[in-house]
Structure 1
Amino acid sequence: MIMEHNVPLQPYNSFGIVARALTLIRVASEADLAALRTDAQWAGAPRFVLGGGSNIVLTGDVKPLVLKVEIKGRRLVEETERAWIVEAGAGENWHETVQWTVEQGFPGLENLALIPGTVGGAPVQNIGAYGIELQDRFDSLDAIDLDTGSAFTLDAAQCAFGYRDSVFKHTASGPNGFGLAGRALITRVRFRLPKPWKAVVGYFDLERRMEESGNFTPTSRDIFDWICAIRRAKLPDWRVLGNAGSFFKNPTVSPEQCADIIARDPKIVHYPMPDGSIKLAAGWLIDACGWKGKTVGNAGVYEKQALVLVNRGGRDNPVTGGEVMTLAKAIQTSVYERFGIRLEPEPVVV
């Protein structure tokens, strides 16, 4: 167990916000957590689990004990007639894990390529892109109860996946009476990659790639490469321009609400959902309110995608968490005043 004090967190959050962890422990194995429980000084201390730092906004130094998850390893657990079961350590880089599965001949995660973060953070957020959500490829995960030290395993139903949501984002006092926020640390995640594999290419950008290339039977590697190219063209590289990816969730409304908005704004981007609701493109709403390219202090709205807030100050004069949240709240107010819709942030505010 490696323990460090007064640790700069700027390298460990994709926004590049300057903050410090008063105490940080690098968790490379389950044994590190067991050792932590035997240390009387830290056994009952408040904790904050840190993965890739790609979905957080730090508004100050982190006083709780920071548990930085660095558990590694990838393997094929099982192969059946219907699926490959693949496991990865929670500290593995997500994109590199997707690339590894494609290269190993285990297709199914390619639509989720180039999403920043770690494997352990993926089920917390139920990440999704280009027609696939993590829950569509999820088998099970292992975790440690930080209160008791007990190991446990959850399947998809027990994770209570929703749109950018899971049991790991709610406390036990939440509306469902059960939650694992602040209580569980994910150690390993397993994916069920179905056989036979079928390409998911229902999004306009992918359909256009097929048209342009003349390739109407793409392999998983083709889709992986297309997704990487599409995302690089649309979204900033957080290592160059700090950001936390999509900052707001796409809101859902009733058909009646959507019809009312269309009557006022016929060009609004919207998608019918299987449950009868209508999903609206948050980026379009923000752009319609004139925010694309605007800044507040060193926090800005990316000029190519209004859904992404960025660090205009770089690493030398970085944005603060306060500036990010001031900009986010101004955008929320603007969208609500025009459309009557409350945008919900995706990142965790610390």
Structure 2
Amino acid sequence: MPAAPTLLHHVSLRSYNTFGIDAQARLFAAFASVEELQALLRLPEVQQTEKLVLGGGSNLLFTRDFDGVVLKNEIRGLDLLPGEDDRTALLRAGAGESWHGVVEYALGQGLSGLENLSLIPGTVGAAPLQNIGAYGVELKDAFDHLEAVEISSGQLRAFSHEECGFGYRESVFKGPLKNQYIVTGVVLRLRREHRPNVSYGAIRTTLEEMGISADEPTPQQVSQAVISIRRSKLPDPAQIGNAGSFFKNPEVSQHKFEELKARFPDLPGYPVPGGVKVPAGWLIEQCGWKGHRAGPGGNYGVHAHQALVLVNHGGATGAEVRALAEEIMASVREKFGIELHPEVNIL
């Protein structure tokens, strides 16, 4: 039976979250295998306290110190598994792998299905928890199954696509099974044949600006276009503290959308089952928040190029950022009658 990794006391989490918030963990340990995780979960100090699993820390806002144990997932590994036919392949990725690293690996193997999800920050283990998505593609579109350890028993089990209960930025792990399992590996079903998805956002026009035909781009070219778009819109967390899109894009009924469209003719919308998805960034920008700065010296606020992104220019507290988010939500509610919900996990 392997020994548990060392438990550290009173560890700053500033370098473990992309917002750069200087919260502190009472206890902290990193694990690099299922066996190390199981050994940690057997420790009385771990069993008896609140647990937080950290990957890349790119979807978190700390508003306080964490009076429990932070478990840093560093399980690595990329393995190609045979698919059931010659048109697909299975890629198994350790939960601690960088998500974008997995996308690059898949492209290097001539596999498609992940290119629209290029440059999304964070690790593989977090991807299924919130069913990450971008530019018309979601993780569930390429998902086969995952492996996870049950916190209470230490048992490893598999979850099928259906068992994960995927929805828009949702899964069973954010609902009925929240805080009950730790993802250790994800298996993706990828295509050897390419069917480019360039209909969403600015992918088509970006490809054309790059001198590439938008009718039959390669997976690598679609990835390059997505990377170009993301870099033009979203700040690099290494330069400005942020967690990417702070809010989910709300969905409204067709009737509500038509009602709003009559009042705001420029309101964009994308049909989804049961209604219309409205870009949260557009709503926030219409309320005048884009580029807003607050706090001493304007040390936090809303990104100048993308109103969906809240930023820490340096020295902000998580409580300040949360208060700003609540102000934004209230203004959108008042102007449009639409309730915004954070995509970021607030602790």
Q: How far apart are the structure 2 equivalents of 1:324 and 1:4?
A: 28
1:36 match:
40
Q: 8 Å contact 2:63–2:319 — kept in the other structure? A: yes
1:176 match:
none
Q: How far apart are the structure 2 equivalents of 1:18 and 1:209?
A: 38
Letter in 2 for 1:299: Y
**Deviation of residue 230 (structure 1)?**
1.1
Q: How far apart are the structure 2 equivalents of 1:119 and 1:37?
A: 21
2:300 match:
299
Letter in 1 for 2:119: L
Q: How far apart are the structure 2 equivalents of 1:270 and 1:292?
A: 20
**Deviation string, structure 1 residues 185-232 (Cα, Å, up to 9, x no partner):** 000001001342211111241111233314232111111111111110
**Deviation string, structure 1 residues 244-300 (Cα, Å, up to 9, x no partner):** 100111001111101111111111111111x24011110000000000011232321
Q: Secondary structure at the match of 2:18?
A: coil
1:117 match:
122
RMSD: 1.2
Q: How far apart are the structure 2 equivalents of 1:95 and 1:308?
A: 20
The one of 7, 12, 17 equivalent to 2:11 is: 7
**Deviation string, structure 1 residues 114-165 (Cα, Å, up to 9, x no partner):** 0000000000110001111000000000000001111110011111111011
Q: 8 Å contact 1:296–1:326 — kept in the other structure? A: no
Q: Secondary structure at the match of 2:67?
A: coil
Letter in 2 for 1:152: R
Letter in 1 for 2:227: C
Residue 18 of structure 1 pairs with residue 27 of structure 2? no
Letter in 1 for 2:16: Y
Q: How far apart are the structure 1 equivalents of 2:322 and 2:46?
A: 31
1:173 match:
none
Residue 329 of structure 1 pairs with residue 314 of structure 2? no
| Number of equivalences | 337
**332-341 vs 193-202, greater mean Cα deviation:** 193-202
1:222 match:
221
1:251 match:
250
Aligned residue runs from structure 1 range 108-257, under 5 A: 108-170=113-175, 179-212=176-209, 213-215=211-213, 216-257=215-256
Q: Segments of 4+ in structure 1 off by > 6 A?
A: none
Q: How far apart are the structure 2 equivalents of 1:38 and 1:113?
A: 37
Q: How far apart are the structure 1 equivalents of 2:293 and 2:207?
A: 37
**Unaligned ranges ≥5, structure 1:** 171-178
Q: Secondary structure at the match of 1:64?
A: strand
**130-139 vs 292-301, greater mean Cα deviation:** 292-301
Aligned residue runs from structure 1 range 247-286, under 5 A: 247-273=246-272, 275-286=273-284
Q: How far apart are the structure 2 equivalents of 1:152 and 1:214?
A: 44
**Deviation of residue 44 (structure 1)?**
3.1
Letter in 1 for 2:282: W
Q: 8 Å contact 2:73–2:96 — kept in the other structure? A: yes
- In percent, how many aligned pairs have the same letter? 46
**Deviation string, structure 1 residues 274-333 (Cα, Å, up to 9, x no partner):** x240111100000000000112323210110100000122xxxx2111111110000000
Q: 8 Å contact 2:207–2:221 — kept in the other structure? A: no
**Deviation of residue 37 (structure 1)?**
3.5
**Deviation of residue 339 (structure 1)?**
0.5
Q: Secondary structure at the match of 1:41?
A: helix
Aligned residue runs from structure 1 range 43-54, under 5 A: 43-54=47-58
**Deviation of residue 106 (structure 1)?**
1.8
Q: 8 Å contact 2:143–2:187 — kept in the other structure? A: yes
**Deviation of residue 105 (structure 1)?**
1.6
Distance 1:276 1:39, change over 3 A: closer
Letter in 1 for 2:341: E
Letter in 2 for 1:200: N
Q: 8 Å contact 1:283–1:305 — kept in the other structure? A: yes
Distance 1:38 1:214, change over 3 A: closer
Q: TM-score, normalised by structure 2?
A: 0.94
Letter in 2 for 1:248: F
**Unaligned ranges ≥5, structure 2:** none
**Deviation of residue 40 (structure 1)?**
2.8
Q: Secondary structure at the match of 2:179?
A: coil
Letter in 2 for 1:74: L
Q: How far apart are the structure 2 equivalents of 1:327 and 1:104?
A: 43
Q: 8 Å contact 2:131–2:170 — kept in the other structure? A: yes
**Deviation of residue 82 (structure 1)?**
3.1
Q: How far apart are the structure 2 equivalents of 1:190 and 1:301?
A: 36
